[in-house]
Structure 1
Amino acid sequence: MSLTGTPFFLTTIALVVVALVLPLTLWSRTRGPRLVRLVVRLCMLLFAQATALAMVFVIVNNSNGLFDTWDDLLGTGDHVRAAVDLGPDGTGGKNADAEPKVVQKFTPASDKRMGPGVQETRLKGRISGVEGEVYVWLPPQYDDPAYKDRKFPVVEVLPGFPGSAKAWFGTLEVNTQLKPMMEKGEVAPFIVVAPRTTLLGDVDTGCANIPGKVNADTWLSVDVRKMVTDTFRAEEKADGWAVAGYSAGAHCAAKLAVSHPDRYRAGVSLSGYNDPVGEPASLTAKTPELRREHNPLTILEHAKTPPRTALFVSGAEGDGYQGGLALKQAAKPPTTVQVQMIPAGAGGHGTAVWKRQVPDVFRWLTRQVRG
Structure 2
Amino acid sequence: MSLTGTPFFLTTIALVVVALVLPLALWSRIGGPRLVRLAARFLMLLFAQVTAVTMVFVIVNNSNALFDNWDDLLGTGDHVRTAADLGPDGTGGKNADEQPKVLQKFTPASDKRMGPGVQQTQLKGRISGVEGEVYIWLPPQYDDPAYRDKKFPVVEVLPGFPGSAKAWFGTLDVGRQLKPMMEKGEVAPFIVVAPRTTLLGDVDTGCANIPGKVNADTWLSVDVRKMVTDNFRAQDKADGWAVAGYSAGAHCAAKLAVAHPDRYRAGVSLSGYNDPAGEPSSLTAKSPELRDANNPLKMLQRAQTPPRTALFVSGAEGDGYQGGVALKQAAKAPTTVHVTMVPAGAGGHGTAVWKRQVPEVFRWLTQQVTH
**TM-score (ref. length: structure 2):** 1.00
Give the deviation of 1:139 after TM superposition: 0.2
Amino acid at match of 1:184: K
User: After superposition, what is the alpha-carbon deviation per residue over 1:18-62, rounded to whole angstroms, capped at 9, x for unaligned?
Assistant: 000000000010101111000000000000000000000000000
Structure 2 match to 1:311? 311
User: After superposition, what is the alpha-carbon deviation per residue over 1:58-105, rounded to whole angstroms, capped at 9, x for unaligned?
Assistant: 000000000001000000000000000000000000000000111111
Please state whether the residue corresponding to 1:167 is helix, strand or coil: coil
Structure 2 match to 1:234? 234
Tell me if 1:95 matches 2:95: yes
Aligned residue pair count: 371
Please state whether the residue corresponding to 1:365 is helix, strand or coil: helix
Tell me if 1:196 matches 2:196: yes
Q: Distance in 2 between matches of 1:5 and 1:277?
A: 34
Structure 1 match to 2:168? 168
Give the deviation of 1:304 after TM superposition: 1.1
Q: Distance in 1 between matches of 2:167 and 2:56?
A: 18
Structure 2 match to 1:290? 290
Q: Distance in 2 between matches of 1:209 and 1:189?
A: 31
Q: What does 1:48-127 correspond to in 2, within 5 Å?
A: 48-127=48-127
Structure 2 match to 1:302? 302
Please state whether the residue corresponding to 2:297 is helix, strand or coil: helix
Q: Distance in 1 between matches of 2:123 and 2:234?
A: 17
Structure 2 match to 1:37? 37
Q: Distance in 2 between matches of 1:31 and 1:359?
A: 63
Structure 1 match to 2:247? 247
Q: Distance in 2 between matches of 1:176 and 1:51?
A: 34
Q: Distance in 2 between matches of 1:276 and 1:343?
A: 24
The percent of aligned pairs where both chains have the same amino acid is 87
Amino acid at match of 1:308: R
Q: Distance in 2 between matches of 1:225 and 1:299?
A: 23
Q: Distance in 1 between matches of 2:261 and 2:304?
A: 13
Give the deviation of 1:241 after TM superposition: 0.1
Q: Distance in 2 between matches of 1:273 and 1:205?
A: 15
Structure 1 match to 2:13? 13
Please state whether the residue corresponding to 1:345 is helix, strand or coil: coil
Structure 2 match to 1:142? 142
User: After superposition, what is the alpha-carbon deviation per residue over 1:232-258, rounded to whole angstroms, capped at 9, x for unaligned?
Assistant: 000000000000000000000000000
Q: Distance in 2 between matches of 1:301 and 1:192?
A: 31
Q: Distance in 2 between matches of 1:245 and 1:206?
A: 12
Amino acid at match of 2:343: P
User: After superposition, what is the alpha-carbon deviation per residue over 1:309-354, rounded to whole angstroms, capped at 9, x for unaligned?
Assistant: 0000000000000000000000000000000000110000000000
Please state whether the residue corresponding to 1:352 is helix, strand or coil: helix
Structure 1 match to 2:183? 183
Give the deviation of 1:119 after TM superposition: 0.1
Q: Distance in 2 between matches of 1:244 and 1:141?
A: 22
Q: Distance in 1 between matches of 2:14 and 2:113?
A: 22
Structure 1 unaligned blocks of 5 or more? none
Structure 2 unaligned blocks of 5 or more? none
Amino acid at match of 1:189: P
Off by >6 Å, runs of 4+ in structure 1? none
Amino acid at match of 2:348: G
User: After superposition, what is the alpha-carbon deviation per residue over 1:156-197, rounded to whole angstroms, capped at 9, x for unaligned?
Assistant: 000000000000000000000000000000000000000000
Q: Distance in 2 between matches of 1:94 and 1:23?
A: 65
Please state whether the residue corresponding to 1:340 is helix, strand or coil: strand
**TM-score (ref. length: structure 1):** 1.00
